[in-house]
Chains A and B, each alone.
Chain A
Amino acid sequence: MDVEVGAVLPEWRVPSVSAEKMKTMAALLADPNPIHFDVAAVRALGLGDRPVNQGPLNMGYVMNMLAAWSGGHDRLRRFRVRFLRNVFAGDELCASGVVTAVRTENRVRLADCDVVLTGAGGEPVLKGTATVALEPVTEEKP
Chain B
Amino acid sequence: MSERTAPGPSPADPREHVGRRFPGGVFTVEPWRAWLVADTVLGEPGGEVAHPLFVWLAATGAMGVTWDELFAWFGATADDGPMFGEHETTVHRPLRVGATYRVSGEITSVDRKSGRSTGPFDVVGYRLRLHDAADGVHVADCWNSIIFPRRG
CB of A89, distance to nearest CB on chain B (Å): 14
When the two chains form the complex, which single residue of A59, A76, A142 contacts B87, counting CB atoms closer than 8 Å?
A59
Is A6 an interface position by the 8 A CB rule? Answer: no
Complex Cα distance A47/B78, Å?
15
CB-CB under 8 A for A140 and B33, given A59-B56, A60-B41, A76-B52: no
B138 engages A142 (CB within 8 Å): yes
Alpha-carbon distance A81/B53, docked complex (angstroms): 13
**Range of interface residues on chain B?**
35 or more
Complex contacts, A31 vs chain B, CB 8 Å: 67
Q: Which residues of A contact B67 (CB under 8 A)?
A: 30-33
**Closest Cβ–Cβ distance, residue A133 to chain B (whole Å):** 10
Check A14–B42 contact: CB distance below 8 A.
yes
Number of A-B contacts (CB under 8 A): 114
Instruction: Check B23 for interface membership: any CB of A closer than 8 A.
Output: no
Q: Is the CB of A57 within 8 A of B87?
A: no
B92: nearest chain-A partner, CB-CB: A142
Taken together as a complex, chains A and B put the C-alpha atoms of A120 and B40 apart, in Å, by 21
0 or 1 for each of B26-53: is its CB under 8 Å from A? (1 = yes):
0000000100110111110000011111
Partner of B94, one of A21, A24, A74: A74
Within 8 A of B (CB), among A39-79: 41, 45, 47, 55-57, 59-61, 63-64, 67, 72-74, 76-79
In-complex Cβ contact of B57 among A45, A56, A76 (8 A): A56
Q: Dominant SS at the B interface? A: mixed
Inter-chain contact B82/A33, CB cutoff 8 Å: yes
Asked if B50 and A61 make an inter-chain contact with CB atoms under 8 angstroms apart, the answer reads: no
B-facing mask of A9-35, CB < 8 A → 1, else 0? 000001000000100110011111111
The list of the 8 closest CB pairs from A to B, nearest first, reads: A55-B84, A60-B41, A80-B88, A74-B94, A142-B92, A79-B89, A32-B78, A33-B78
A residues apposed to B, CB below 8 Å: 14, 21, 24-25, 28-35, 41, 45, 47, 55-57, 59-61, 63-64, 67, 72-74, 76-83, 86, 138-142
Write the residues of chain B forming the contact surface with A, with a CB cutoff of 8 angstroms: 33, 36-37, 39-43, 49-53, 56-57, 60-61, 66-68, 78-79, 81-94, 137-138, 141
Could you list 20 examples of A-B contacts with CB < 8 Å? A24-B40, A28-B36, A29-B61, A41-B79, A59-B56, A63-B51, A67-B43, A73-B49, A73-B50, A73-B52, A74-B49, A76-B52, A76-B94, A80-B86, A81-B86, A81-B88, A138-B94, A139-B137, A141-B92, A142-B138
